Amino acid sequence: MTAFLTLFQSRRTALLQILAAGAAATTGLPLWAQPLSSRPIKVVVGSPPGALGDVIARLMAQKLGDALGQPSIVDNRAGASGGIAADYVAKSQGDGHTLLVAPDAVMVVNPFVFPKLPYDPTKDFRSVALLGKATLVLLVSPALNAKSFAEFVQMAKDKPKSITFGSGGPGHPSHMAMELVASRLGLQLTHVPYKGTSPALQGLMSGDVNAVIVSMAEAMPQVKAGNVVALATSGPAAKQVFPNLPEFKESHPDLDISVWFGMFAPASTSPDVVLRLNTEINKALGQADVSKRLAEFGLTVTPGLPTVLDQLMAADRARFGPLVKALGITAN
């Protein structure tokens, strides 16, 4: 009787394996991609509700959930310049159920700025997909009386350190963008850090600083209201709203700057799962409702393989790493 049960169980197991393999072959999808459980897909983001990162995370969570037939949620873990969210995902199980949406600073700048980072961007994650690039805009106070980007540059050269600029904090994308402009064009500006770009923009409008670089979504309302003056942009997306603005890269070839967002999985995630996620994300980015929604925030979608994101990070680390070290930028 025991031998019979053992034989029955072994044949039953073999049959189930054959059926499972057949199902995968029929659908053409990895077994993970099929709705095997009710566990939700958790998309973690290091920004509060309503911020650009949160908007992107919610769109991607919804599209992934719909495509894979599983529930999805967004987990907002703001703090430490995105480090809290990144550390959480880095230590999560690599089964495709916990993902990170993060801007470039989390993966590129933070390792150079924070002396003790709890995660390693080069070892703790697998790139899933580049989600998009956000256009940046240089804004100045009307009181500065700079009518063009060329005039702004000349003012800064004529009086070194006299022009002040606000940023979202040490190492923040708004900080690094302005420092890169200054470095490449030979300018000496005075940095005034704030706790976020919203306070920095308020500082500009109140006259506490002369300039800021912020996202197009943040810039548009204030430019249209006449509270600030737009002088230059980081990408062509702004041309639709500000057709006469020059791009930074017209002044220097290494000023092709933007804030990008990517999706990442824990390093232990299998390549098959990453590829499946990448496929569904690229499908979502190609949908009109997604691209339209992101365009409202000045974000240009950029579908591609995970290697595209890997290459972008490597290039940005090579560019921003030496700049951070040269300027001695640190965050506590």
Boundaries of every domain in the chain: 38-133+259-327, 136-250
Taking the domain 136-250, which CATH number applies?
Answer: 3.40.190.10
What pLDDT, on the 0 to 100 scale, is given for residue 307? 97
Dig out the tokens for 3 from the structure: 């031998």
Dig out the tokens for 102 from the structure: 């993060």
Residue-wise over 60-69: b if at least 16 C-beta within 10 A, else e? bbebbbebbe
pTM: 0.81
Phi first, then psi: what are they for 18, rounded to 5°?
Answer: -65, -45
Closest CA to 29 of 262, 283, 267: 283
What pLDDT, on the 0 to 100 scale, is given for residue 332? 63
Taking the domain 38-133+259-327, which CATH number applies?
Answer: 3.40.190.150
CB 106 within 8 A of CB 82: yes
Closest CA to 98 of 130, 78, 125, 67: 125
Identity at 232, one-letter amino acid code = A
Residues of the chain with pLDDT under 50: 1-33, 36
What pLDDT, on the 0 to 100 scale, is given for residue 37? 54
pLDDT per residue over 233-242, tens digit each? 987 777 777 8
